[in-house]
């Protein structure tokens, strides 16, 4: 999923564009480029590789101008190369654009343009958009329209958008209309920053932080023109629409690395604070319940919910699995967790009183958004548990609960996971207390939850032990992660963390499942990470651990500090504070985040920008 930036104002555009792309690089980092209006032409600088390489290119070949667009790419169509890097131009060079999304009918459009004599430079779907706008511009010129008339540009753009199938977030420059920048959105997020006599455009708010707090979120089928004369937004079906300016909370300090070597490590160590933020203002100790301000759902409706579906992708799906245990244990509501990519196409027989929660850090994951829309289409109440304020999913859901975890820049999700689990715990309490849960049980629940920020801070003290464990096993090419009950989803999450940043094959399983096949994988070079703090199934997990040891499989145990037996049973022990079972994921996930981080470092991997990945998967 790519990152797009744009600028119209009085400052040197290239500096702002490059700074914005550096902040968006977590969205994709295969190639990068900028285009700046310069001397009544458009200067383009682009190349494969990271934004740092583009910065060097612009330093050696500067561009001067105060209107421009930029792009950092996660390749969907066309391999990573200089020619496939954005921006892309039409043949005449009158149209220059950048794109985030996938145009599903690009082949047919390319064929039509080629038959009409068009020539292509790249293998991307994006160039097809540029060439199609250029072609539509030609048709308008033949009818006497002038290319320096903004309305001509609007018409060429809108004719093109009407022909596109698929998703796009676009930023477009027209050479003959040098004072403006156009943008359009369908399925890929875009936000406009409103400054004093200047406008910013970006895929999310991180490039805007420190420049403006006032933003306008574009919705699907919105298009806009940004110029020094002002901002015009048009909705495809209803024409020009009112502009609603919202304010973003993030501070510049939130997106700075500070003294940390990587965003991932910074965000792991932010977890005591991010959990405090998730709890802030939501603990009702008098009534022994939780307080939510944005559910937009009355108590009567909530009391009659007879089924809950939690839908998400990746790490957020793992948080949903913890939520399933929490809601079923404390609210006694049947709950199921669905991969969003599956739910969107399944025709699940959901009851009328089914409530759907979309769990998402970014609020822009295409599959999660599509699943949410599908459930809304069928009349279900849909709520979002989301981190990014004003994101598409947060705006399209009927209501929801923000994580308030602050920007999560590292591609591997860490603080979002523990914040999602915290919010799901609060939700389980809230639903339980409006049904059968007693005041005293609710109070005990809250008192345990209140201690979590300090206990996670204590958990982080395991970092030096984790480094030692990482050094012992970093060369292994296969890992198993095993846990039961609340720690089964943690096992899946730990395996995902290791996979996505160290490229080691890792699988998570319910510990008891080992005997049904996976134990055949065990050998001296396949460590098994057992998530086994004390609890109701502790002895069962220890039995599984011993079955692995009996087959000479190395065992790494995530165990409670009070456990005196584990040292004799495991090859390596990483201690975590003893907490009630239902809150264990908040502490047991932390050493697994650190273990993945340290192993990835030892293997020379790019922790914040792992290969093939992007932070927000805004394409199917």
Under the rule (CB under 6 A), what is the footprint of ligand AGP? 313-316, 360-362, 365, 368, 411-413, 500, 616-617
497 is annotated as an active-site residue: no
Length of the chain: 620
Q: How far is the CB of 501 from ligand AGP (least distance, A)?
A: 8
Angstrom distance (rounded) from CA 42 to CA 278: 46
- To ligand AGP, the closest distance from the beta carbon of 197 in angstroms equals 34
b or e along 599-620 (b: 16 or more beta carbons within 10 Å of the residue's beta carbon)? bbbeeebebbbbeebbbbbbbe
Neighbouring-strand partners of residue 576: 560
CB 141 within 8 A of CB 202: no
DSSP 27: G
Work out how close the CB of 506 gets to ligand AGP at its nearest, in angstroms, rounded to a whole number.
Answer: 13
Which residue's CB is nearer to ligand AGP, number 180 or number 361?
A: 361
Q: Which is nearer to ligand AGP, 66 or 365 (CB)?
A: 365
From the list 182, 204, 180, the residue with the least C-alpha distance to 191 is 204
Cα-based distances in Å from 557 to 77, 138, 554, 581, 587: 43, 67, 10, 16, 13
Residues 356, 312: Cα–Cα separation, whole Å: 11
**Please, which residue, 69 or 264, has the CB nearer to ligand AGP?**
264
Q: Give the residue carrying structure tokens 């090859």.
A: 571
Residues 6+ apart with CB under 8 A from 104: 165, 166
- β-pair partners for 73: 31
The residue number whose beta carbon is nearest to ligand AGP equals: 314
For residue 27, count other CB atoms closer than 10 A to its CB. Answer: 27
Considering beta carbons, is residue 382 or 413 the nearer one to ligand AGP?
413
Which two structure tokens, joined as six digits, stand for 355? 């409530």
CB of 17 to ligand AGP, least distance (A): 25
Q: How far is the CB of 616 from ligand AGP (least distance, A)?
A: 6
Read off the tokens for 538.
Answer: 């502790």
Known catalytic membership, residue 46: no
- Please identify, using beta-carbon distances, which residue of 94 and 262 lies nearer to ligand AGP: 262
Cβ(47)–Cβ(54) below 8 Å: yes
266, 497, 499, 615: the catalytic one is: 615
Catalytic residue among 2, 153, 375, 605: 2
The Cα–Cα gap between 549 and 557 comes to: 12
Q: Which is nearer to ligand AGP, 459 or 593 (CB)?
A: 593
412: exposed, middle or buried (Cβ count in 10 Å: 0-12, 13-18, 19+) = buried
Residue 362: CB minimum distance to ligand AGP, A:
3
Q: How far is the CB of 165 from ligand AGP (least distance, A)?
A: 24
Q: Which is nearer to ligand AGP, 203 or 365 (CB)?
A: 365
The residues that are catalytic are: 2, 615
């Amino acid at each position: 999923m790519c990152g797009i930036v744009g600028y119209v104002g009085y400052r040197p555009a290239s500096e702002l564009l490059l700074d914005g792309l550096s902040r968006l690089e977590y969205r994709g980092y295969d190639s990068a480029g900028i285009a700046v209006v310069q001397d009544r032409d458009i200067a383009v600088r682009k190349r494969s590789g990271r934004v740092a390489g583009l910065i060097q290119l612009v330093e050696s070949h500067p561009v001067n101008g105060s209107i421009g667009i930029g792009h950092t790419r996660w390749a969907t169509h066309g391999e990573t190369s200089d020619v496939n890097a954005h921006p892309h131009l039409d043949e005449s060079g009158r149209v220059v654009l950048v794109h985030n999304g996938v145009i599903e009918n690009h082949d047919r459009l390319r064929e039509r343009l080629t038959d009409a004599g068009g020539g292509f430079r790249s293998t991307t779907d994006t160039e097809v958009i540029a060439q199609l706008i250029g072609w539509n511009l030609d048709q308008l010129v033949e009818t006497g329209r002038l290319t320096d008339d903004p309305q001509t540009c609007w018409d060429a753009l809108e004719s093109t958008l009407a022909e596109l199938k698929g998703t796009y977030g676009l930023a477009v420059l027209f050479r003959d209309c040098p004072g403006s920048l156009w943008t359009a959105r369908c399925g890929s997020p875009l936000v406009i920053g409103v400054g004093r006599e200047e406008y910013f455009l970006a895929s999310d708010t991180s490039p805007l932080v420190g420049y403006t707090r006032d933003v306008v979120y574009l919705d699907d089928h919105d298009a806009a023109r940004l110029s020094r004369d002002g901002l015009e937004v048009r909705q495809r079906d209803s024409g020009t629409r009112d502009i609603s300016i919202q304010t973003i909370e993030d501070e510049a300090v939130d997106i700075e690395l500070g003294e940390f070597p990587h965003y991932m490590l910074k965000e792991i160590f932010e977890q005591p604070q991010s959990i405090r933020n998730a709890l802030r203002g939501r603990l009702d100790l008098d009534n022994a319940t939780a307080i939510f301000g944005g559910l937009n759902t009355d108590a009567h409706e909530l009391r009659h919910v007879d089924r809950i579906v939690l839908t998400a992708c990746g790490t957020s799906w793992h948080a949903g699995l913890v939520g399933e245990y929490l809601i079923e244990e404390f609210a006694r509501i049947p709950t199921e967790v669905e991969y969003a990519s599956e739910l969107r196409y399944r025709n699940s027989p959901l009851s009328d009183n089914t409530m759907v929660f979309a769990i998402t850090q970014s609020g822009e994951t295409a599959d999660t958004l599509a699943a949410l829309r599908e459930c809304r289409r069928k009349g279900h109440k849909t709520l979002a548990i989301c981190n990014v304020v004003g994101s598409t999913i947060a705006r399209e859901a009927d209501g929801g609960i923000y994580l308030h975890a602050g920007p999560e820049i590292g591609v591997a999700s860490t603080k979002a996971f523990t914040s999602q689990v915290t919010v799901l715990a609060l939700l389980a309490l809230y639903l339980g207390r409006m049904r059968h849960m007693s005041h005293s049980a609710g109070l005990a629940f809250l008192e345990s939850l209140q201690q979590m920020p300090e206990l996670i801070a204590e958990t982080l003290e395991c970092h030096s032990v984790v480094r030692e464990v990482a050094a012992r096993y970093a060369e292994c090419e296969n890992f198993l992660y095993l846990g039961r009950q609340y720690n089964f989803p943690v096992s899946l999450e730990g395996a995902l963390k290791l996979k996505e940043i160290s490229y080691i094959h890792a699988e998570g399983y319910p510990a008891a499942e080992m005997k049904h096949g996976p134990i055949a994988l065990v050998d001296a070079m396949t460590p098994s990470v057992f998530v086994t703090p004390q609890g109701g199934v502790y002895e069962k997990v220890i039995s599984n651990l011993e079955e692995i040891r009996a087959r000479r499989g190395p065992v790494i145990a995530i165990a409670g500090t009070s456990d005196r037996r584990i040292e004799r049973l495991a090859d390596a022990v990483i201690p975590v504070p003893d907490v009630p079972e239902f809150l264990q994921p908040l502490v047991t996930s932390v050493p697994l985040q650190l273990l993945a981080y340290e192993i990835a470092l030892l293997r020379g991997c790019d922790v914040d920008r792992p290969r093939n990945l992007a932070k927000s998967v805004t394409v199917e």
